[in-house]
Structure 1
């Protein structure tokens, strides 16, 4: 799969890196960058009949995050939706969406992080004739105005979760309503258009159901995929070191070179351990969480190094170091669990 990574890297260097600031804040620029990935046919990489390996997908994610955190996060939402569809028993949905999702001619997001929350379910599903009646608010859905549909999760009375395909736009019908909120004012990646979506008596017909998952599915899913998001952080770390390297080439300060070499070695070691854990399969959950916490700490450290060497210019909102530092903050809390929060805090002594 080296050709895949090389082709993607060429696109990122030529079409994404020069406009990374615009992609971060302008939805239309992000949409165009996402469509560029679609033209490469790389938006359903984990879908049979020829899914890439976990290692290749991890490196692919790191590549994109190196040049644009917003693009990396957006395309991963779409890739996750494609992965869920590929495992669905609903052959009609698979045949309708997956071929077009590969090339980005149809965009699909996800909305199920709320299942991690304890207490009263935020979105409920009641089984009715021909499907389910959905009510509640999905607090985080990325890609408004970019994606056409999204897969949401709603809790059934017995604790299971029904996943269904719904329109990602304001919709009013006789049997229900979908209301898309205003874009959240995020510290980074505002172009991803992350919103809340409220459903009022929305009828999800059986032919739009992707799957029904058992009680505790989200926690089992987190256990299986705890390491994959590490590559957002590793890509962010690489972006920080790219800035440090450029400054060193300009100023030729020995202490900048020393920091660059040290951090580059640390990044390589961290990436190597995480890739080993992904391919080995024998690492405990505790060890995997610690590795992800280490990647997060490294992203913050490298982003801070980029800010430091950039001096006062880093305080400008359109400076690359400022953007990368904000991305490090977002990747610190994205998909956070209590175990990951602890692992991240325990890395503070090493920063």
Structure 2
């Protein structure tokens, strides 16, 4: 198995996983991530992993953030996915306007506040699922956010909207029902229903100018955004590793042998994926990134399927982690999927 990084935040993630998330994972999957689990996430320090030290964060190296993601995803993917949203608002505020940064970044960095995101719909441009319109003193948002994770758990979120003339606006809002913002009922999903995902109906939500973190041309934002989803999500390795750990506990020698074989191949894919992130400029070798991403998907699917096979009929009980990991793996296959990723994955499945 890949060696665990020696870092206080990685140790904190393991304690959080072992003491809080793993024991509750099946309950979270069926009934929803609890406020108590989120309180433990906030207290652990992991929310500040990539936040600047000047604002109370840890400013940890990228490999530390990836290891934390793997540990949390393998323990409880629903909780992982809720907290995963938080790191994008942190980066947005770091790069954004001073007023928004000074108002919110410290609370996000020290874990006092948990943030979500509502802007993946911007990838549908030139369609405008959420329209941003300039009004006196701020911006008005209208439309529908199809996917918002963490409702009832997040304190704030960053909302993105596009203008008629090709600009995008990102603003910070309170994650509560308010004039101009209404959540849909929770979405019932095949996996990660526990992450409390809803749609957001926007009908004249007005956010003031000092809530705006970024305002830039859509094409400039998209140029930076497009390469990101060609990289392999660390959660894929976390779920696969958790499935292999189940095989390790089996009394069946074939199960253990399968785990050993898959682990070696998974570690190789992990090294290749992270080398591309660490050593190659973000917009280069996209085909190689997509190739290792689909390879990692295949290995995750093999690992979770092996855990179900080894568990037999018992693995289909909702109290058994194998079936949960298999469903979480399917979720990760489509999470953050772009047309480019979908095309590459479908083509890879032909061979």
Matching residue of 1:61: 69
For the structure 1 residues 57 and 130, does the alpha-carbon distance in structure 2 shift closer, same or farther, using more than 3 Å as the test? Answer: same
- Tell me by how many angstroms 1:131 deviates: 1.5
Matching residue of 1:178: 181
Matching residue of 1:237: 240
Summarize the alignment of residues 46-195 of structure 1 with structure 2, pairs less than 5 Å apart. 46-49=50-53, 51-89=59-97, 91-172=98-179, 177-195=180-198
How far apart in 2 are the matches of 1:183 and 1:218? 29
How far apart in 2 are the matches of 1:227 and 1:342? 11
Q: Residues 161 and 168 of structure 2 are in contact (CA less than 8 Å); yes or no, is this contact kept in structure 1?
A: yes
Return the TM-score normalized by structure 2.
0.91
Give unpaired runs (5+ residues) of structure 1: none
Q: Residues 38 and 153 of structure 2 are in contact (CA less than 8 Å); yes or no, is this contact kept in structure 1?
A: no
How far apart in 1 are the matches of 2:81 and 2:348? 24
How far apart in 2 are the matches of 1:310 and 1:97? 46
How far apart in 2 are the matches of 1:161 and 1:323? 37
Please say which of residues 15-24 and 221-230 is displaced more in the overlay.
221-230
How far apart in 1 are the matches of 2:232 and 2:99? 30
Q: Residues 62 and 232 of structure 1 are in contact (CA less than 8 Å); yes or no, is this contact kept in structure 2?
A: yes
Q: Residues 142 and 205 of structure 2 are in contact (CA less than 8 Å); yes or no, is this contact kept in structure 1?
A: yes
Deviation digits for residues 277-323 of structure 1, max 9, x if unmatched? 11111551111121112222221111111111000012112210110
| 1:21 paired to 2:26 | yes
Question: 3-state SS of the aligned residue for 1:153?
Answer: strand
How far apart in 1 are the matches of 2:143 and 2:345? 32
How far apart in 2 are the matches of 1:118 and 1:133? 18
CA RMSD of aligned residues (A): 1.9
- Tell me by how many angstroms 1:103 deviates: 4.2
Matching residue of 1:45: 49
For the structure 1 residues 286 and 28, does the alpha-carbon distance in structure 2 shift closer, same or farther, using more than 3 Å as the test? Answer: closer
How far apart in 1 are the matches of 2:39 and 2:31? 14
Matching residue of 2:329: 328
**Residues matched between the structures, number:** 340
Matching residue of 2:3: none
How far apart in 2 are the matches of 1:3 and 1:61? 14
For the structure 1 residues 189 and 240, does the alpha-carbon distance in structure 2 shift closer, same or farther, using more than 3 Å as the test? Answer: same
- Tell me by how many angstroms 1:343 deviates: 2.6
Q: Residues 140 and 195 of structure 1 are in contact (CA less than 8 Å); yes or no, is this contact kept in structure 2?
A: yes
Return the TM-score normalized by structure 1.
0.91
Deviation digits for residues 114-134 of structure 1, max 9, x if unmatched? 111245301111112211221
- Tell me by how many angstroms 1:349 deviates: 5.8
Please say which of residues 298-307 and 228-237 is displaced more in the overlay.
228-237
Matching residue of 1:10: 15
- Tell me by how many angstroms 1:66 deviates: 1.2
For the structure 1 residues 224 and 44, does the alpha-carbon distance in structure 2 shift closer, same or farther, using more than 3 Å as the test? Answer: farther
Give unpaired runs (5+ residues) of structure 2: 1-5
Q: Residues 231 and 290 of structure 2 are in contact (CA less than 8 Å); yes or no, is this contact kept in structure 1?
A: no
- Tell me by how many angstroms 1:82 deviates: 1.4
Question: 3-state SS of the aligned residue for 2:86?
Answer: helix
- Tell me by how many angstroms 1:271 deviates: 0.9
- Tell me by how many angstroms 1:339 deviates: 1.8
